[in-house]
Amino acid sequence: MEANNDIKCVGVVGTGVIGASWTAYFLARGFDVSSTDPMPGAEAKLREAVCRHWPSMEKMGLAEGASLERLRFSANLAEALAGVDFVQENGPEREDLKVALFRDMDALLPEQVILASSSSGLLMSLVQGACTHPERVILGHPFNPPHMIPLVEVIGGALTSSETIERTMAFYSAIGKRPIHALKEVKGHIANRLQAALWREAFYLVDQGVATVADIDTAIAYGPGLRWALIGPFLNLHLSGGEGGIGHVLDHLGPPIESWWADLGTPAITEELKQKICAGVDELLTGRDQALLAPTRDALLLGLVEAKAGTTLP
């Protein structure tokens, strides 16, 4: 999709893995991008990462005017944010740093410029309090890698305005994302909490000697993960119920599901468990070229996203 009429230049603050991925995506959607990061060598790393992502962007389809030449960089925050119309922040997951950064950005930018954070777990209510215009501070949490996965979680803090939520949802939708709006703040947001629930049981099963790391990865990647990549857990349950749908499933499987919930583990990530997990991953990767892992994943992911885009699946 094309860049919308109100936003011409996106500021990307923090250009690590997530920030670089966002940068590639915004450039591919036809924006000017002004980026900043105080780390030594950040610009070179950013440009290398964007070039690495660009072939995937070309396969997904570039917006009119999309160009790598539309990227500028400054290690100085004020210089980088001059003239931007929207900010995507990707700084460290530390509340004190986040609060100070948003306070500085808020002081530098006109009040109509939305300040969106990619934070994986911090609540915007904790971040926006130091801002003169807290109503324009919002969570815009992507799923990694943002240049390929459409999901963005949009969540306002206690002081975020409804107008900011609406504008942010409209912006992400207009550039081809699939934003969802959480109705209240929770630690870890939505998708990360769902992931965490699965990780908890996966770690527990390894800790209890029920299954190996390799078998758990296989169980998900070649079992429910294939269905989850197509439709979500509720629609999968609905299809499992045949003509009776999800109501039939819950009538008949409700008690067993509740018994499984009651039996789920609550492991602690001890040093022993960490070593067991790491050893399991090393064993899983034995004989494989680890350098090909991410590119192969991304190629499959690109095909899946393209395939889903041509369907009526929700």
DSSP annotation string for 112-159: TSEEEE--SS--HHHHGGG-S-GGGEEEEEE-SSTTT--EEEEEE-TT
Site of tokens 């990227």? 71
Residues of the chain with CATH 1.10.1040.10: 193-309
Taking only the tens place, the pLDDT of each residue in 176-192 is 999 999 999 999 999 99
| Residues in contact with 82: Cβ distance below 8 Å, sequence separation at least 6, in sequence order | 34
Taking only the tens place, the pLDDT of each residue in 294-303 is 899 999 999 9
At residue 240, the pLDDT reads: 94
Structurally, at CATH architecture level, domain 9-181 sits in: 3-Layer(aba) Sandwich (3.40)
Q: Is the previous residue joined to 146 through a cis bond, with omega within 30 degrees of 0?
A: no
What stretch of H or E contains 51? helix 42-60
> In sequence order, what are the beta bridge partners of 151?
178
d(CA 17, CA 264): 33
d(CA 150, CA 34): 22
In this prediction the pTM is 0.93
d(CA 154, CA 179): 6
Chain-centre distance for alpha carbon 38 = 23
Homologous superfamily assigned to 193-309 = N-(1-d-carboxylethyl)-l-norvaline Dehydrogenase; domain 2 (1.10.1040.10)
At residue 84, the pLDDT reads: 98
d(CA 54, CA 52): 6
Strands 71-73 and 32-36: parallel
155, 117, 123: which is closest to 19 by C-alpha? Answer: 117
Average pLDDT per block of 10 residues along the chain, 314 residues long:
72 98 98 98 98 95 97 98 98 95 98 97 95 98 96 98 98 97 94 97 98 98 96 95 96 95 97 98 95 92 91 89
Main-chain dihedrals φ then ψ at residue 12, nearest 5 degrees: -110, 115
At residue 310, the pLDDT reads: 84
At residue 314, the pLDDT reads: 86
At residue 5, the pLDDT reads: 67
Site of tokens 């350098």? 291
- Identify each DSSP E strand in 66-110 by its residue range: 71-73, 86-89
